[in-house]
Amino acid sequence: MAGFTYATLTTAIQNYTEVDSNVLTSTITDQFIENAELRIFRDVPIDAYKKQSIGNLVTGQTTINVPAKTIFVKGVQVYDSTSAATGANEWLEKKDETYLQEYIPAETSTGKPKYYAMFGGATGVSDTTSGRLFVAPAPDTTYTFKIHYQAIPDGLSSSNTTTYLSQYFGNGLLYACLVEAYGFLKGPADMLTLYENKYKEELDKFGIEQLGRRKRDDYTDGTVRITIPSTSP
């Protein structure tokens, strides 16, 4: 599949805007790319960035750190085992932190956790976590847990020359970058609108792939049927 590398995407941004590197320096285009990537990450969940992290709860401790670069937590499993993420396990129910405080207001009761809530977040690029989970009741032993989460991956850069987005959603990434570029250059409003619409069109297709086709199979669910607008009069 044709896609972009860091070098070819940077060149494409300059070619589409007809502006050279004297105006669009690498620092500026790097910001376009980062902004575009963050926009895409929040517009559609991407299977390639689903992650898992395994650890052990601390007896009597009601909070645990979530992995660095977590966008959101998809679910938490707690296993009966204290040595491996295998065998019998239960999914924790996600609740608001206030619910957990009411459930165990004194935080003195212990048992196998049943609920969790997310709070806090990273405050700097050097932070090793992206927030914390509050679990209740406090664990009565060092249960193994597994966090399923959506992560922000390393972005496209001169030292990371290809990414999943650049290879498999390259046109959408380009259009999102061009929206950033035309906004920065204060270019013609019609060009800004053009690339915004092109980005949204590609995002719709990408969303169908990520949230539709990748979530089903033909044997179980039948062939996906998508209406294709006709160009005939």
d(CA 121, CA 131): 4
Q: Is residue 3 domain-resident?
A: no
* pLDDT averaged over every residue in the chain: 87
- When pLDDT is averaged across residues 87-114 and rounded to a whole number, the result is 84
Work out whether the CA dihedral 105, 106, 111, 116 comes out positive or negative. positive
Q: Check residue 25 and give its pLDDT.
A: 95
- When pLDDT is averaged across residues 11-27 and rounded to a whole number, the result is 93
Query: Residue 173 above 80 pLDDT?
Result: yes
Ramachandran category for residue 111: left, alpha or beta (phi over 0 → left; psi -120 to 50 → alpha): left
- The total of other beta-carbon atoms located within 10 Å of residue 128's CB is 9
Q: Is residue 33 domain-resident?
A: no
Q: Is residue 71 domain-resident?
A: yes
Q: Is residue 211 domain-resident?
A: no
Q: Check residue 232 and give its pLDDT.
A: 59
Ranking 14-18, 97-101, 124-128, 167-171 by mean pLDDT, the lowest is 124-128
Query: Residue 97 above 90 pLDDT?
Result: no
Ranking 9-23, 125-139, 163-177, 213-227 by mean pLDDT, the lowest is 213-227
d(CA 6, CA 145): 37
| Helix ranges (DSSP H) in the chain | 6-17, 26-43, 97-103, 164-168, 170-185, 189-211, 218-221
Structural domain for 118, as ranges: 48-151
Which pLDDT tens digit goes with each residue over 175-199?
Answer: 999 999 999 999 899 999 999 999 9
Q: Is residue 90 domain-resident?
A: yes
Nearest Cα neighbor of 128 from 38, 67, 50, 64 is: 67
Number of domains in the chain: 1
Q: Is residue 95 domain-resident?
A: yes
> Strand 110-111 and strand 138-139: pairing?
parallel
Q: Is residue 174 domain-resident?
A: no
Which pLDDT tens digit goes with each residue over 40-95?
Answer: 998 988 888 999 999 999 999 999 988 888 888 999 999 998 888 888 999 999 99
- The total of other beta-carbon atoms located within 10 Å of residue 159's CB is 7
* DSSP 3-state of 164: helix
Q: Check residue 229 and give its pLDDT.
A: 64
Nearest Cα neighbor of 33 from 49, 15, 10 is: 10
Q: Is residue 82 domain-resident?
A: yes
pLDDT grade, residue 1 (50/70/90)?
very low
Q: In sequence order, which residues have a C-beta less than 8 Å from that of residue 57 and are 6 or more positions away? A: 64, 78, 113, 135, 139, 141, 142, 143, 144, 145
